[in-house]
């Protein structure tokens, strides 16, 4: 068990982790990325749709192709990417990883960037353990990575962007989408995604939720009912839908376990997915030398994850003395400006304010 | 630039996923009736302020403007637009169409389409409106699946006169979504 010492260790090879690794490597830091999956790219490799955003940040490109670009760039910069290697613990600056899930190895990096992404939420209802009930991410893994159609008739729960996108992708894969069920009185995701679904003839039932899923061995029918403004079911509004699959797209929360083991502090910010590590604007946590980036720092989009990764990689390189102060400040300001833009508009303002509160919290804890 | 972020404007699309006629009329990416009757022109049904400016860069004639603030709605200069349709496959929201209502008996609608199999020119398909309701049969005039489209085909449909601003999707015969009947 030898202790390797890369200057920067990045946990997670998703958009944030890869962007962080690329940025740090561009400043000549030695960088290692570890990821538990067998393929780099995080959730991007399941995203077959074209991304929104600014022309400057991979917009208009399909997620899977963004992943390829990031991996190629990282490899070009001699970033070492260790796949199939989960990090199982962090003790006082020592990171323990299970190389290819077999051999435990320890690493003591000079700087640590945690980019472990998010975990999907589930909701419970009678029948939720039946085969055929799965999260949207699981369905995407089946369909877009393994090319296995999850079912013939799918009910999607949740009308956020994830729910709208999974409905679209499953329809592309040849499944019939029975409809999308949304508890809130309005659609959660962007209007253009919803319009794509609606023009295909797929209904979106607002103020509805799943009452139960019926079936002895697998999903056979899904009973939905309407709910009032207090989310209480309205009797007599039940509809029984014939379906073999239920896809849950009911939000995500930051995957913070490793940040906790590293000694981080947390705040509760529902708009960012719940319990979020306290960090400053350059993504450093309250533990000196430990950074977070992407969904683990608050659930947002791949575009914001990439820029947060760039900030974390830049900050780590700067703290290692790899970047001059003026160069650091110039790039930092450009990235902060990019985040400001990505968090603008009716969908971004809440997240922008939540991030500001987190930064203030950092300042208070550091005083 | 245009600021249309008041609540009333956004209600319809958030309520049902379909922009209302009022939302479309007020949308700076949608040309007026006069222009629609003069020949092919882009119809940008982007009614919600989201951070995206891919369309702006896609137009070789500079007819789409978003400007510095990335959440501005795209504004179409319908006099500069010639309806070439290069913007259609670029829009990640698949919210851009090209409509030509200058014909005597037919309208033409070009639609982004990401399903297989692709239709063939001459084929008759079931044309749908923004709600996914069948509107008419349509004849496929052209299928553009240029590599530069990155797998978003642009399918041009011939529809009966007057339906150019109604038809927004289609299914091949036999592929129609059957859940509406329940």
pLDDT, tens digit, 9 for 90 and up, residues A228-277 = 999 999 999 999 999 999 999 999 999 999 999 999 999 999 999 999 99
Q: Which of A47, A48, A60 to mutate to test the interface with B (most CBs of B within 10 A)?
A: A60
Tokens of A147: 């090319």
* Distance (Å, whole) CA B144 – CA B157: 12
> What mean pLDDT is reported for chain A?
95
CB within 8 Å: B150 and A191: no
* Residues B60-97 pLDDT 10s: 999 999 998 888 999 999 999 999 999 999 999 999 99
pLDDT band at A94 (very low <50, low <70, confident <90, very high): very high
Kindly indicate the confidence band of residue B16, based on its pLDDT and cuts at 50, 70 and 90. Answer: confident
What residue ranges in A93-205 does DSSP mark as E strands? 94-99, 103-107, 111-114, 118-120, 133-135, 153-157, 176-181, 204-205
- pLDDT (tens digit, 9 = 90+) per residue, B38-54? 999 999 999 998 889 99
Q: Which of B49, B90, B116 sits opposite A60 (nearest CB)?
A: B90
Q: What number of C-beta contacts closer than 8 Å exist between A and B?
A: 153
Of B57, B69, B169, the CB nearest to A200: B169
Interchain pair B48, A177: CB under 8 A: no
Residue B181 has pLDDT above 50, yes or no: no
Q: Give the pairing type, strands A111-114 and A221-226.
A: unpaired
pLDDT > 50? residue A2 = no
Going by C-alpha positions, the residue among B53, B60, B65 that lies closest to residue B2 is: B65
| Rg of chain A over all Cα atoms, to the nearest angstrom | 21
Closest to A47 measured CA to CA, from A111, A141, A188, A176: A141
Q: Is the pLDDT of residue B7 over 50?
A: no
The tens digit of pLDDT for each residue in A204-236 reads: 999 999 999 999 999 999 999 999 999 999 999
Is B90 in Cβ contact with A196 (below 8 Å)?
A: no
Indicate the residue of A59, A191, A200 with minimum beta-carbon distance to B177: A200
pLDDT value of residue A276:
98
What is the structure's pLDDT at A91?
A: 94
Chain A residues whose beta carbon lies within 8 Å of the beta carbon of residue B182: 178, 241-242
Of the candidates B151, B127, B152, the one whose C-alpha atom is nearest the C-alpha of residue B137 is: B127
Q: In the prediction, which pLDDT does B176 show?
A: 73
Least confident of B11-25, B128-142, B168-182: B168-182
As a whole-number percent, the residues of chain A with pLDDT over 70 amount to 99
- Cα A332 from Cα A133, distance rounded (Å): 43
- pLDDT, residue A58, reads 83
**Pairwise CA distance, residues A45 & A67, whole Å:** 6
Q: What confidence tens digit (pLDDT) does each residue in A273-298 have?
A: 999 999 999 999 999 999 999 999 99
pLDDT digits 0-9 by tens, A52-67: 888 777 889 999 999 9
Are A226 and A182 within 8 A, CB to CB? no
- Structure letter (DSSP) for residue A271: G
pLDDT of A340 reads: 93
B180 has pLDDT over 60 = no
Contact assessment for residue B45 and residue B19, using Cβ atoms and an 8 Å cutoff:
yes
DSSP at B180 = G
Report yes or no: A156 and A249 within 8 Å, Cβ to Cβ: yes
SS3 A98: strand
Mutation to test the B interface, candidates A198, A337, A351, most B Cβ within 10 Å: A198
pLDDT of residue B174: 83
Averaged over B20-28, what is the pLDDT?
A: 91
Task: Report the residue of B1, B3, B15, B17 to disrupt the A interface, i.e. the one with the largest count of A CBs within 10 Å.
Answer: B17
Instruction: For residue A3, name the pLDDT band (cuts at 50, 70, 90).
Output: low
How high is the pLDDT of residue B6?
42
**How would residue A4 be classed by pLDDT, with cut points 50, 70 and 90?**
low
Place B12 in a pLDDT band, splitting at 50, 70 and 90: confident
Q: What is the mean pLDDT of residues A310-337?
A: 98
Q: In this complex, do A344 and B70 lie within 8 Å of one another by their Cβ atoms?
A: yes
- Chain A residue whose CA is closest to B56: A55
For residue A117, count other CB atoms closer than 10 A to its CB.
23
Predicted complex ipTM exceeds 0.85: yes
Percent of chain A with pLDDT over 90: 92
Q: Which residue of A has its CA nearest to B66?
A: A54
Q: pTM here? A: 0.94
Q: What is the pLDDT of residue B1?
A: 34
Using CA atoms, how far apart are residues A28 and A241, in angstroms rounded to an integer?
A: 57
Rounded mean pLDDT of chain B?
A: 90
- At which residue do the structure tokens 């959440």 appear? B71
Greatest CA separation for chain B: 47
DSSP B151: T
Q: State whether B17 and A197 contact (CB < 8 Å).
A: yes
Partner residue opposite B150 with nearest CB, options A62, A176, A344: A62
**Section A80-93 average pLDDT:** 95
Q: How far apart are CA A137 and CA B52, in angstroms?
A: 24
Residues in A closer than 8 angstroms to B177, CB to CB, are 176-177, 200-202
Please give the Cα distance from A196 to A324 (Å, whole number): 48
At residue B177, the pLDDT reads 65
Substitution target in A195, A196, A205, A222 with the highest count of B β-carbons within 10 Å is: A195
pLDDT band with cut points at 50, 70 and 90 for residue A102: confident
Q: How far is B169 from chain A (nearest CA, A)?
A: 6
Q: In chain A, what is the greatest distance between 2 CA atoms, to the nearest angstrom?
A: 68
Contact A264, A277 (CB under 8 A): yes
């Amino acid at each position: 068990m030898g202790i390797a010492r890369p200057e920067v260790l990045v946990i997670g090879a998703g958009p944030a982790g890869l962007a962080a690794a690329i940025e740090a490597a561009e400043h000549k830091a030695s960088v290692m990325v570890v990821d538990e999956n067998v393929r780099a790219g995080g959730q991007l490799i399941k995203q077959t749709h074209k991304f929104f955003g600014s022309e400057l940040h991979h917009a208009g490109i399909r997620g899977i192709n963004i992943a390829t670009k990031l991996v190629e760039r990282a490899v070009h910069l001699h970033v070492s990417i260790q796949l199939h290697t989960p990090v199982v613990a962090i003790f006082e600056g020592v990171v323990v990883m299970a190389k290819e899930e077999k051999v435990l190895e320890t690493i003591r990096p000079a700087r640590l960037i945690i980019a472990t992404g998010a975990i999907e939420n589930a909701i419970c209802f009678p029948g939720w353990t039946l085969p055929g009930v799965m999260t949207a991410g699981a369905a995407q893994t089946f369909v877009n990575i393994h090319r296995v159609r999850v079912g013939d008739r799918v009910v999607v729960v949740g009308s956020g962007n994830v729910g709208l996108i999974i409905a679209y992708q499953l329809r592309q894969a040849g499944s019939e989408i029975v409809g999308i069920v949304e508890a809130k009185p309005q659609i959660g995701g962007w209007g253009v995604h919803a319009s794509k679904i609606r023009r295909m003839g797929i209904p979106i039932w607002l103020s509805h939720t799943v009452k139960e899923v019926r079936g002895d061995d697998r999903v056979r029918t899904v009973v939905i009912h309407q709910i009032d403004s207090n989310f209480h079911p309205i009797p007599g509004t039940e509809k029984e839908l014939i379906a073999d699959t239920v896809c849950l797209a009911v939000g995500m929360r930051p995957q913070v376990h490793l940040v906790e083991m590293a000694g981080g502090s947390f705040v509760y910010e529902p708009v960012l997915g719940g319990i979020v590590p306290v960090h400053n604007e350059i993504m450093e946590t309250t533990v000196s030398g430990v950074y977070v980036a992407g969904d683990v720092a608050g659930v947002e989009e791949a575009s914001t994850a990439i820029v947060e990764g760039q900030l974390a990689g830049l900050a780590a390189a700067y703290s290692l003395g790899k970047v001059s102060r003026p160069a650091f400040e110039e790039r930092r300001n450009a990235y902060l400006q990019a985040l400001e833009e990505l968090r603008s508009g009716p969908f971004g303002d809440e997240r922008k304010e939540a991030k500001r509160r987190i930064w203030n919290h950092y300042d208070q804890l550091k005083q | 630039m245009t600021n249309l972020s008041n609540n009333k404007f956004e209600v319809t699309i958030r309520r049902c996923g379909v922009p209302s006629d009022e939302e479309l009329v007020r949308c700076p990416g949608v040309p007026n009736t006069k222009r629609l009757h003069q020949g092919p022109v882009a119809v940008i049904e982007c009614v919600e302020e989201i951070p995206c400016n891919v369309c702006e860069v896609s137009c070789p004639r500079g007819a789409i403007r978003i400007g510095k603030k990335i959440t501005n709605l795209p504004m179409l200069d319908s006099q500069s637009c010639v309806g070439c349709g290069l913007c259609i496959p670029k829009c990640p929201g698949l919210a851009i169409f090209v409509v030509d209502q200058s014909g005597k008996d037919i309208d033409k609608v070009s639609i982004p389409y990401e399903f297989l199999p692709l239709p063939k020119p001459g084929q008759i398909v079931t044309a749908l409106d923004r709600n996914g309701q069948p509107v008419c049969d349509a004849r496929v005039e052209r299928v553009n699946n240029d590599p530069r489209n990155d797998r978003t085909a642009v399918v041009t449909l011939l529809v009966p006169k007057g339906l150019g601003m109604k038809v927004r999707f289609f299914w091949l015969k036999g592929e129609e979504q059957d859940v509406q009947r329940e």
